Amino acid sequence: MSANVPLKPQVYTDPRPAEFFDPFHARVRDAVPETRVYEPVRMATLWFALICFRARAYGTEHVPNGPVILAPNHASFMDHFFTGIFLRRRVQFMGKSQMFKGLGGWIFSHGGVFPVRRGRHDEAAFTTAFAVLSRGGPVVMYCEGGRTRSGRLAERAKPGIGRLAVESGVPVVPVAILGSHRVRNWKRFSFPRVSVVFGSPLRLAQVADPSRDQQQAAADVIFDRIRAQFEALGRVGHRGAAAVAREA
């Protein structure tokens, strides 16, 4: 098997001031994703995933109506698409702030994506996420923060998803994605198979102002569920993904 296409080094800081991103946050807080942007992108990505990566999703019936946090593992720039394209709901997610420039910034914000300034305490990103949940929308958030890139999960979750879960009190759906760390190999005309498993939702006790330890503890609970699904999926492979979804 050929090696993966090398990745560019990750950039963790954005020199632009926080005020630069205020219009993007305002747009997402005030309006749902626009049909003229979200649906064409979703359909194009769906067909790309189905044809090129033979992507399949299992357990989508576990995603409830109303506000919900979708928590996938993160190994590829495509993971938020793999999480959202198989659902009839319009999911919204935090995207690294470096993506918000030029035409891309317009497409992302009108499609419901909102920026997060990585490597900084970005309270604006949490305010926007809470706004989406408060109007009954689904938010995608990664336990691991950035991509792991190796196909293995990170050692531990970041506390941010724990904060979002316990402050909002909404259900969290753990999502395991197998195979996405090789998606970048399409540049070498190698197209890995991808399977997505949605687990049963869990709801953590709501806390108005959780401490850092409470946030981390909640994140660990969520990540343990993701890890269990991911490891089960790894054991049985793509052909057993439906069984993993049933057992989840």
Residue 85 lies in a domain: yes
Residue 198 has a pLDDT of 97
137's tokens: 């929308």
78 half-sphere exposure, CB direction, 13 A CA radius: 27
Structural domain count of the chain: 1
Residue 4 lies in a domain: no
Residue 187 has a pLDDT of 66
Give Cα separations from 44 to 41, 49, 50, 169 (angstroms). Answer: 5, 9, 10, 34
Residue 10 has a pLDDT of 61
Residue 10 lies in a domain: no
Is 0.75 topped by the overall pTM?
yes
Residue 91 lies in a domain: yes
Handedness of CA 98, 102, 103, 105 (dihedral sign): positive
Return the CATH number at 79: 3.40.1130.10
What range defines the domain where residue 105 resides?
18-247
Give me the tens of pLDDT residue by residue for the chain, a chain 248 residues long.
455 655 566 666 889 999 999 999 999 999 999 999 999 999 999 999 999 999 999 999 999 999 999 999 998 889 999 999 999 999 999 888 999 999 989 999 999 999 999 778 899 999 999 999 999 999 999 998 777 766 788 889 999 999 999 999 999 999 999 998 888 776 677 788 999 999 999 999 999 999 999 999 999 999 999 999 999 999 999 989 999 998 87
Residue 60 lies in a domain: yes
Residue 225 lies in a domain: yes
- Strand-strand pairing, 138-140 and 195-198: unpaired
> What strands, in cross-sheet order, belong to the sheet with 56-58?
56-58, 195-198, 172-178, 68-72, 138-140, 92-96, 114-116
